[in-house]
């Protein structure tokens, strides 16, 4: 369920009403933010994302599915965040990139 996209809702599940799809995705975003990722997030990536703001936790699952952990986080670029990690919001990508650079310079 955490992998559902608007296109999947429309094409695969058959939710044709755009308002219903947006409402479903909003609720799914809330679910992603409050999910306990401890069983699949051994590097505590969710804690890093959550430290940027609670809304960033919604990217945890897609980043974990892409193979990202705290060690590989520093190897990400903006394109990878967008395409592989599904961080569609450009401001969120910039903030994550800024945090990555900050973590690199502090080491």
- Say what the pTM is: 0.76
Higher pLDDT, 106 or 87: 87
Burial code of 10-38, b = ≥16 C-beta within 10 A, e = fewer? Answer: eeeeebeeeeebeebeeebeeebbebebe
Q: Which of 100, 81, 102, 99 is nearest to 90 (CA)?
A: 81
Domain ranges of the chain: 1-34, 41-107
Rounded Cα distance between 34 and 32, Å, is 6
Tell me the per-residue pLDDT of 15-48, one tens digit each, with 9 for 90 and over: 999 999 999 999 998 888 888 888 899 999 999 9
Q: CATH code for 41-107? A: 1.10.150
Alpha carbon 17 to chain centroid distance? Answer: 25
């Amino acid at each position: 369920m955490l992998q559902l996209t608007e296109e999947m809702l429309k094409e695969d599940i058959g939710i044709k009403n755009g308002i219903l799809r947006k409402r479903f995705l909003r609720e799914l975003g809330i679910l992603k933010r409050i999910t306990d990722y401890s069983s699949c997030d051994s590097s505590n990536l969710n804690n890093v994302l959550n430290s940027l703001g609670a809304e960033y936790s919604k990217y945890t699952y897609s980043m974990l599915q892409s193979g990202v952990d705290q060690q590989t986080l520093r190897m990400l670029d903006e394109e990878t965040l967008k395409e592989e990690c599904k961080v569609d919001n450009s401001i969120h990508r910039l903030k994550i990139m800024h945090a990555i650079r900050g973590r690199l310079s502090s080491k």
